[in-house]
Structure 1
């Protein structure tokens, strides 16, 4: 893949493995190349992260994205240490960049590992005891415990061998889905033009997850800036979840292959639902107490509801029988809520038979934010990258 610092003819996606491969001009987005992490620094963890990370970067690289003005996309992605956010997407003179903090990945690894008792019950609920509150999981989600890369690598040693099949469902699968969601969410901010719009607002060319400065922006066409940012988050969520679901259904699924050679798609999609739940709840806990009119991110319940709808819509279109995954997810969220009460708010927006009043109220909020996003289409259009292949 290409070098984002090279000429226009070398456009594409590239995953940067160490500081020597760093693109020029990273100081423009506040990154020191020396802080770029090599996955070799976590040998076991890298074995689980590399297949999905590299495969997805290669997929987007092969699509040859271009804007309406003919500009081709150049994007470098990397894991980085000592980042002031969990993740970010940015633009600089030489191209776009996306970064994911190694500390965040380490914490997500430990969180997903603690979910294993609930995930195992998706596959075989009867022999498995009902989960009890997990104090370590609570501390991890609330950022009261901050494991490092080395500690996460020790956890990854307990994961199944990624080069073999027949593995039991567990935290390794949720981690694979979660890492995929985070990366594609950040790439979506670039592909959908969000980063360029934020850059035009004078915010240092970066769209930081949960940075307080994100809320500082003027209204556009009468729409409050925080509402625009919330709409952008839902658009990026939708893009990421759609991609993750389709890759699973198409068989481009390294973690699913570990559980093969045969995979129950309903069980597999529940693992993706668990990753969506962690993604949404972790983001809300990071943001803290929120006012819907000033918050830069939607609530966890709203984001999870929209992600679950996206999974369900794609699955039912593929095979109506896969719609059962949404009902199976209800029991899973119940078990996650037993492990940590921070998941409890998702139960009311996970349909079982009937839609709750909270679900219906959330639908109205979602409709409003998607309408805001739709009204921004004309503003985004010059910055949107579309695939040519």
Structure 2
């Protein structure tokens, strides 16, 4: 069965990469094949935490999409767009840097998917106002969301899995991962002009026109904005206090969406239009196909082979986990990869007496999975969401357009992370 699971995944992945058919159709088609053949059953696909659809991700997305749909009616996205242009003096390069930093910081304290859902509409409006292509800006932001999300326990779904397995707290992530994220952001900001060379030309008249606008006039419904702000504050508080209240972020998002719809009296046709149904269905199909790889032991064998190759050398184990995690998280989604790899890392840590070096294995897994998620369009949940938003806005981003930039960002971030792990946990510890 493992051969069938691999073949189906490779064929579906080829269709997703070449875009011969819509990626949703490729993912659902692959899922249908593994279900029909019996590689996975209904129990595996819909009810298993190890091999099934990650409903926490699906419903987190759904809840936040509904909230964004209501929030859009207030005009707050137009407000932020005008504010960003004016603060950056109309310079597209400075606007990109500003939006990248906002995205990275927000991703650390929310999660990268939620941040992308909130920042993308602002970006599309900024670029529309200035009449420049939004694709480079959207790509820069999703890369920043995956980098920034690595800083905290709640910033990226793989971190929550690692925290659960290792026992690390929110503060543990902040102390160990935030410093490398700050370094990565500095490096990423420096390479932005070269990475997106030729994307910063703008008509001075368009800039002058935006600079004369009053952002306050963009707010269309102040009452709804206040209600939305209160609900968002409650949702964000729920996200941050996840480890204390033990309520999943998906439940928090759904409760927030329901409350906002109730108090705003928004009609279904007004908020459901913001739901990216194709993205949600793509995720469902992708989870089922990857679940087939998990159930048949393919992912476990790959991870175990990487772990066994270390030969008990702690530094080699850290570097191997970092690199392998980056590569595999880029090819498959980083959530199931981390879920599979975590038990193996836990076993490896028990063979290392030095606590600092033992912990370094977990931080290597977190860095590799989070930064590796930037490699391809399907490497992280935020990537898929951003591509869905771009496509609906009329600016489709191809798999290879994303990957050409994503590989560069992943290589740079992994190269920067390697000496950090070595210095902090082996030289200075």
Q: TM-score range by the shorter chain?
A: under 0.3
As a proportion of its length, which structure holds more strand?
Answer: 1
> Higher relative CO (CA 8 A, sep ≥ 6), structure 1 or 2?
2
TM-score, L = length of structure 1: 0.27
TM-score, L = length of structure 2: 0.25
